[in-house]
Every structure is written in structure tokens, then in C-alpha cells.
A and B are shown apart, each in its own frame.
Chain A
Amino acid sequence: MIRLLQAVLGGLLTGGVYALIGAGLSLIFGVLRVINFAQGELVMLGMYLTWLLFTFLHLDPFVSLIVVMPVLWMLGWALEALLLDRMHGALPQNQILLTMGLGLVLSNGAMMAFTSDYRLVSTTYSSSSFMLAGVALSQPLAVSFVLTAAIATALWVFLARTDTGMAIRATAQDRDAAQLMGIDVRRMSRLAFGIGAALAGAAGALIAPTYYIFPQVGGSFTLKAFVVVVLGGLGSVVGAMLGGLIIGITESLSATYISTELKDVCVYSLFLIVLIARPGGLLGKAE
């Protein structure tokens, strides 16, 4: 029982980070209709920024969110304005090449700037835990989960309740109709890409104390985010959140009860089963 609880809680905490990365990817896809294959590299940038702030300014990684998110937001905004904006309406394969290329530039740029050494953000609490009903809960993961929940709630309130948030959703649902409402859809694209990048950066800052940082770290996050987003339904932010938690818990349960080695097999099997049953993903529409 303790083991089950340990597995579910542990998976939930890890899944929270996947949820954040996935939500950003989904938001970007919804508004721009572009799959951002550089999403993991944005996470990587968030991690390096956190590491820099921690190493040189001794800023706590969780506090560094207040720097990392705006910086990544601006970067996302600029990338959209300079690169993706020009690609609007281009062939999908060209857009994919653009974001993939962007990812390569970012990871190789990071290699030039930071070398390929592994970087660590070793805080005093990096390996601390507290006991909850007999379950050892990682302290940094628990804090990161709380912050993830806060960011997710803020995102939801923004998208559901504010005029700008609604304008972003409107742009995702019908770009032409949104323009006829007086919405500047190019600005919304920039905003969405900025928010997606900020979410990726936040995820990077949140995992920095428990993970390690190297230039190629983004690749696995891009793949995972893609699985999370397709599982939840492309373009659905809530779906991506749900997908992230499901993937996290599946990983944890299968590692606990089947085998660590078969963890990914279990995750992708679940992924396939869901897609066969619901081709549009859990909260998506089948097209």
C-alpha cells in the first residue's frame, strides 16, 4: 500500500513538470498550428538560466522563476516575430524543419556557451525529503508541484477569464473569425509563443534542483511533451496537463510493479491504446 502510494505520488510530482511543458506546446500548436520541436530546448535554456542565476547570484532555483519566465517569454516573443511569423501559411513540413532547426541551433549554441559538461544545481534541499503517511516525498519535487499547480491555475484563469486570454483561444479556434472580432492574430501568435516558452522555462527552473543540465537535455523533453500533448488532444491545454500527469503516474507505476527497463514500453503502449480508442486524444476532437 505504501509502495502504491509512493509510486502514485512520485509519478504525480514528476508528471507535473511534463504537464507544464506539454501545456506550452499545446498552446503554441493551438494558435500557430505549428508543432514546436524546439520546446525541449526552451526547457534547456530555462535550466541553464536557472543554473547561471544559482551559481553566480546564489538565487534559489524556485525564486529564479520570476526571472526565468519573463526572459523566456521575451525570447519566445522574439522568435515568433523574427522566424515563425514569416512562415505563417507555409507548408507544414517547412514549419517543422524551422522549429527543428531552431532546436539544433539552441542546443549547439548552448554547447558552445556552456561546453558539454553536466551542470548541477545542488541546493541544500536537492536530496531532502519529508515523510507523509509513511511515504518519502522529495522536498524539491513537492515544492515544484505546488508551483506547477499555481502556474497552471494562473494560466487557466488567464485563458478563461481575461479578454486577452479569450482572444488567444479565439485565434486558436478560428483565425479568420478572430480577426473579424478586431483581434490582432499576429500579436496573439507572439503572445502564445511567448507563454509557451515561459512555461517551458518554468519547467526547466523547476526541475533544475533535482535533475542535471547539459546542452542535449532538451531532446527527451520534446519527445515527452509531444507524447503528452497528443495523448491529451492536440491544442487542448487542459488535455496536455492531464496527459502529463497520466504519463508521470504510468511511468512510476510501471517502474514499480513491472520493471524500470520496461517503463517506456508501458508508457508508449498506453499511448497507442488511447490513440486507437480516441484518435483525437483524450480531450481532443477526432478530425
Chain B
Amino acid sequence: MLRVESLSFAYGDAQVLDSVSLEVGKGEIVALVGANGAGKTTLLRTVSRLVKPVSGKVTLDGEDFSRLRAHEVVRRGLIHVPEGRRIFPEMTVRENLRLGSFTTRTDRERNLEKAFALFPVLLAREGQLGGTLSGGEQQMLALARGLMANPRLLLLDEPSLGLAPIIVKQIFETIVAINQQGISILLVEQNVYQSLHIAQRAYVLERGRVVLQGEGKALLENPDVKKAFLGA
């Protein structure tokens, strides 16, 4: 459903993305892995139109994104859950979720119930300010907030970053659960092992280029991947 074709991006002279092409099919979990600074976050920001590419094309179900602005992409069901959660710290949990459904007001109550069912801890904290939540709770809030917008495709940027191992496990289980509801996922992660484990397919990004791609489990066995990311 998502096609990224020869996407390039540069900050001044620094080439961050160099003709990147990738695809996410309907119902898939696709992982995008790579070292720090490989361009993963920039790729997601370009796809969700927070920044504009130098060249290349992004389409969702055939619709070209090049004339859209970031908030218009949301209405098409592509939801980007950014790095560092970026929840609204001075708003309550409930207000954050309400903003998540800014474009889907009619489904607000139903989606809220679903979100609280998936993350019961948020219900317990619903009146608390976002900034006072723990890191894991903030990540859950960020995911729940993304789900409020009726996503068809979720872009997840480093959802496990800085979290305790037990919480990381929980987050990955949740991602799988979300995917099982029929929502496609493009997952950017530093936790290469876990993400390749749950992904159907994966791309390896190195200095702005796709250097490897294939099935998730197959890449786990790839000697280069093992050497670079899995410390073997």
C-alpha cells in the first residue's frame, strides 16, 4: 500500500537519504533497521510530510503525497508515531488521546474504549498530565494516541528506546497485537533482534541507502546483519 520511490533528502550539503525505495504491503509489519544516523527517522519524517524530499516520490494506495501537507496525510490513514513519543506534556492523558482523534471525532468514544482496553494503565492515569508519566507509559500513550486516528498504516519510530527490558517486551507484543487488527506497520528500531523477529520483511539502511532487504527471519541469519547489529 505504501510505496517509496527513489526518495532523496539533504540538509544543505549533507545527503541524508540517497534514493531510497521501499514498500509496505497491506497487513504487513516491515522493519527498517540501521545504525544511528543512517537516515531512518528522516525517512519517516519525509513520508509523513513533516519535511519535504529533494526528489523521489511517496504514494499511499496510488495517491501521490508530493502536494500534501503533514496534517492532510493523517486524514488518509497514515499515522506517524514519532521518535521520543512527543506526547503533549502539559495536557492530561485523556486530552492527549482526544487530540489523537482530531480528524476522527465521530469515532472518538469507541476508539477511546479500545485504547483503554489495550492499555489499561492509561485509564488509571487519564487525568494525569502527560509530562508526569513514566517513559513506558508515555510510549503507550503515544501508541494509543496514534490508534485514535483510525490508522491504516502506522509509522513507529523507536518505540522501545530507553525503556526497561520488560516494558520493551510488552511494547513489541502490543505492536503485534495492533498489526493483527489489520493495521500495517513500518517499524524503525535500534532493537534489531526483536524487530526482525516480528517483521515479515525488513530493510537495512546504511548512510542513507538501502543496503540489504529481505524477510525478517532470513535477515536475522544474515552474517553481515549479525556482525553489524547483533554483536556476533
Contact = CB atoms under 8 A, between A and B. Distances in A.
Asked whether the complex places CB atoms of A and B closer than 8 A, the reply is: yes
B87 A184 contact: no
A148 B89 CA distance: 29
A163 B95 CA distance: 10
B91 A181 contact: no
Contacts of A173: 88-91
A169 interface: yes
Interface string A165-191: 011011001101111111111000000
Given A163-B102, A166-B99, A177 B87 contact: yes
B201 interface: no
Contact of B149 (A166, A174, A181, A184): A181
Interface string B98-114: 11101101000000000
Contact of A177 (B72, B88, B103): B88
Contacts of A184: 69, 71
Contact of A181 (B50, B74, B90, B105): B74
Nearest to B89: A173
A180 B105 contact: no
B23 to A, nearest CB: 22
Contacts of A182: 71-72, 74-75, 102-103, 149
Contacts of A183: 71, 99, 102
Contacts of A181: 71, 74, 99-100, 102-103, 145, 149
Interface centre among B71, B80, B103 (most CB of A within 10 A): B71
Interface string A138-181: 00000000000000000000000001001101100110111111
A167 B99 contact: yes
A180 B82 contact: yes
B157 to A, nearest CB: 11
Interface centre among A166, A178, A179, A182 (most CB of B within 10 A): A182
Given A166-B95, A166-B99, A170-B99, A179 B70 contact: yes
- What bracket does the count of chain A residues touching chain B fall in? 10 to 19
Contacts of A177: 82, 86-88
A173 B70 CA distance: 17
A167 B102 contact: yes
A181 B89 CA distance: 15
Interface string A92-115: 000000000000000000000000
B88 A180 contact: no
A176 B86 contact: yes
B20 interface: no
B210 interface: no
A82 B82 CA distance: 31
A166 B82 CA distance: 20
B19 to A, nearest CB: 25
A180 B102 contact: no
B91 A176 contact: no
A209 B89 CA distance: 42
A170 B88 contact: yes
Nearest to B100: A181
A180 B71 CA distance: 6
Interface centre among A170, A181, A185 (most CB of B within 10 A): A181
Given A180-B79, A182-B103, A184-B71, A166 B98 contact: yes
A250 to B, nearest CB: 28
Given A170-B99, A176-B86, A163 B105 contact: yes
11 contacts: A166-B98, A170-B91, A173-B89, A173-B90, A179-B71, A180-B74, A180-B86, A182-B72, A183-B99, A183-B102, A184-B71
Given A176-B86, A179-B71, 13 more contacts: A163-B105, A166-B95, A167-B99, A169-B90, A170-B88, A177-B82, A178-B99, A179-B50, A179-B74, A180-B82, A182-B74, A182-B149, A183-B71
